[in-house]
């Protein structure tokens, strides 16, 4: 699949502060790329360079094949940008708000009404077209601003924290909308520090910390790289020594780590390299040895586990 966003040695310094340093990432056309990192990691700086709002200290970014440093006008034609702090004109009706921005993009007046209807239907605000913008909830305003980024039918959407400050239901609605836009052929690059938003919808993930990209790829790939072994939590009644002695003799068991007892019940982690059948065999071995097993569960290798292993908890 073709690469539609690419950064090459992208660097931005503010005096002695290194906001981003030698950043190299790539986004496939039609994908949903989650740009993940703590506050202050360099997410917004990167996106402002991608959208031509900032000049890099060195390096370059290509969006839709156009250089942000050499062809900024061409970049602006192919992107729709939604900043983390967006502005809305409260004294406008919802349809007027989109009409204003459509006019800014030189969309003919005769074609704007059906375009606005389609955009409002897309973000599920068709029933609020004649309402004042200031009467909308934060989640609705967020969806309205997303509709605004679509008025000129951009190829790439660059969204800075699109679910920031939203309640759980509104966050789910935004995620569903991103998937729908991707199905329509849009490429979406969005930043967040909410890992659940990324895990639900993204085809690619980039983890940034202190201005440096520490890992990039699809979630399963990163899970395999950072957490190659299966982690199984075992809990037993009473002393767990018999269980550990039994498991130490099983092929594929790499390490057994004691955990804090739970209400007097021993529990421990087992690092294991086998497949599903071998995991089932582990449990059978324990039962056959007479171990009173009360808990036997594989821990999921989720994005949170990947993030904690990939990062060190520092900022630039």
Long-range contacts of 115-121 (CB under 8 A, 24+ apart): 115/151, 119/147, 119/150, 119/151, 120/94, 120/95, 120/147
- Top-confidence range, 36-45, 123-132, 266-275: 123-132
**pLDDT at residue 249, rounded to an integer:** 77
| Tally of helices (H runs) and strands (E runs) in the chain | 11, 14
pLDDT value at 313 more than 70:
no
Same domain, 258 and 215: no
184 and 135 together in one domain: yes
Q: Are 11 and 27 in contact (CB under 8 A)?
A: no
- Computed over every residue of the chain, the mean pLDDT equals 89
How high is the pLDDT of residue 307? 75
User: Which is higher by pLDDT, 314 or 188?
Assistant: 188
CATH code of residue 187 = 3.40.50.300
Residue 310 within a domain: no
What CATH number does the domain containing 286 carry? 3.30.70.260
| Predicted confidence (pLDDT) per residue in 225-243, tens digit | 766 678 889 999 978 899 9
Is the residue at 308 inside a domain?
no
265 is a domain residue? yes
Residue 235 and residue 169 in one domain? no
- 160, two tokens: 């800075």
Looking at the fold, whether 23 and 106 belong to one and the same domain comes out as: yes
Is 35 a residue whose pLDDT tops 60? yes
Q: What is the pLDDT of residue 181?
A: 93
306 part of a folded domain: no
Q: Summarize the confidence of residues 188-209 as an average pLDDT.
A: 87
pLDDT band at 223 (very low <50, low <70, confident <90, very high): confident
Q: Are residues 118 and 136 in the same domain?
A: yes
What is the spatial distance between Cα 149 and Cα 153, in angstroms, rounded to a whole number? 8
- According to DSSP H, which parts of 51-163 are helical? 72-78, 94-104, 112-122, 138-149
How many angstroms separate the CA atoms of 220 and 305, rounded? 12
Does any domain span residue 315? no
Residue 315 pLDDT exceeds 80 = no
Residues 51 and 176 in one domain: yes
Residues 10 and 135 in one domain: yes
pLDDT mean over 137-149: 90
Looking at residue 102, what is its pLDDT? 94
State how far the Cα of 128 lies from the Cα of 179, in Å rounded to an integer.
Answer: 23
Q: How confident is the model at residue 263 (pLDDT cuts 50, 70, 90)?
A: confident
Q: Which two tokens stand for residue 287?
A: 């039962």
Structural domain count of the chain: 2
Highest mean pLDDT of the ranges 178-192, 195-209, 212-226, 266-280: 178-192
pTM for this prediction: 0.79
Is 314 within a domain? no
Euclidean distance between CA atoms 274 and 283, whole angstroms:
13
pLDDT of residue 77: 93
pLDDT in tens, 144-155: 999 999 999 999
Residue range of the domain that includes 178: 3-224
| Domain's final residue, options 224, 251, 277 | 224
Co-location of 162 and 253 in the same domain? no
Choose between 264 and 34: higher pLDDT.
34
Confidence tier at 184 by pLDDT (50, 70, 90): very high
Q: Are residues 211 and 245 in the same domain?
A: no
Residues whose CB is less than 8 angstroms from the CB of residue 68 and which lie 6 or more positions away in sequence, other chains included: 49, 50, 51, 52, 56, 60, 61, 62, 75
Residue ending a domain, choose from 193, 224, 255? 224
Q: Are residues 107 and 249 in the same domain?
A: no
Whether residue 34 is contained in a domain is answered as yes
What average pLDDT does the segment 257-283 reach? 87
Report the distance separating Cα 147 and Cα 122, nearest Å.
8
For residues 156 and 207, membership in a common domain is answered with yes
pLDDT at 194: 78
Q: Which residue from 223, 234, 225, 221 is spatially nearest to 279, judged by alpha carbons?
A: 234
At what angle are helices 138-149 and 112-122 packed, to 10 degrees?
130
Query: Rounded to an integer, what distance in angstroms lies between the CA atom of residue 225 and that of residue 205?
Result: 14
Better-scored residue on pLDDT, 91 or 292: 292
Q: Indicate the residue among 224, 248, 283 that finishes a domain.
A: 224
Q: What are the Cα distances from residue 237, in Å, to 232, 234, 243, 245, 265?
A: 17, 10, 10, 15, 5
Tell me the range of 43-57, 223-237, 253-267 where mean pLDDT is highest. Answer: 43-57
Residues 169-173, mean pLDDT to the nearest whole number: 86
Question: Does 316 reside within a domain?
Answer: no
Q: Are residues 210 and 255 in the same domain?
A: no
């Amino acid at each position: 699949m073709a690469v539609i966003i690419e950064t090459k040695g992208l660097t931005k310094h503010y005096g002695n502060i290194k906001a981003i340093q030698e950043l190299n990432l790539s986004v496939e056309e039609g994908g949903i790329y989650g740009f993940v990192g703590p506050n202050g990691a360099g997410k917004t700086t990167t996106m402002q360079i991608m959208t031509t709002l900032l000049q890099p200290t060195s390096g370059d970014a290509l969006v839709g094949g156009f250089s942000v440093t050499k062809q900024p006008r061409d970049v602006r034609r192919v992107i729709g940008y939604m900043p983390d702090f967006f502005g809305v004109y409260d004294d406008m009706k919802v349809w007027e708000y989109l009409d204003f921005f459509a006019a800014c993009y030189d969309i003919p007046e005769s074609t704007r009404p059906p375009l606005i209807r389609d955009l409002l239907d897309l973000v599920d605000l068709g029933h609020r077209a004649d309402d004042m913008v200031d009467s909308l909830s934060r989640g609705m305003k967020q969806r309205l601003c997303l509709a605004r980024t679509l008025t000129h039918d951009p190829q790439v959407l660059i969204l800075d924290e699109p679910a920031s400050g939203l309640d759980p239901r509104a966050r789910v609605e935004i995620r569903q909308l991103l998937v729908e836009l991707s199905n329509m052929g849009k490429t979406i690059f969005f930043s967040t520090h909410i890992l659940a938003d990324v895990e639900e919808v993204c085809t690619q993930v980039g983890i940034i910390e202190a201005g440096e990209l520490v890992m990039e790829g699809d979630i399963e790939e990163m899970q395999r790289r950072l957490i190659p072994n299966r982690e199984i939590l075992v809990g037993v009644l009473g002393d767990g020594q018999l269980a550990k002695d039994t498991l130490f003799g099983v092929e594929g068991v790499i390490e057994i780590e004691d955990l804090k007892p739970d209400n007097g019940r021993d529990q421990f982690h087992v690092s294991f390299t086998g497949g599903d059948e071998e995991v089932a065999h582990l449990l059978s071995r324990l039962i056959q040895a007479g171990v009173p097993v009360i808990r036997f569960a594989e821990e999921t290798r989720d994005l949170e586990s990947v993030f904690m292993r990939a990062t060190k908890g520092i900022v630039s």
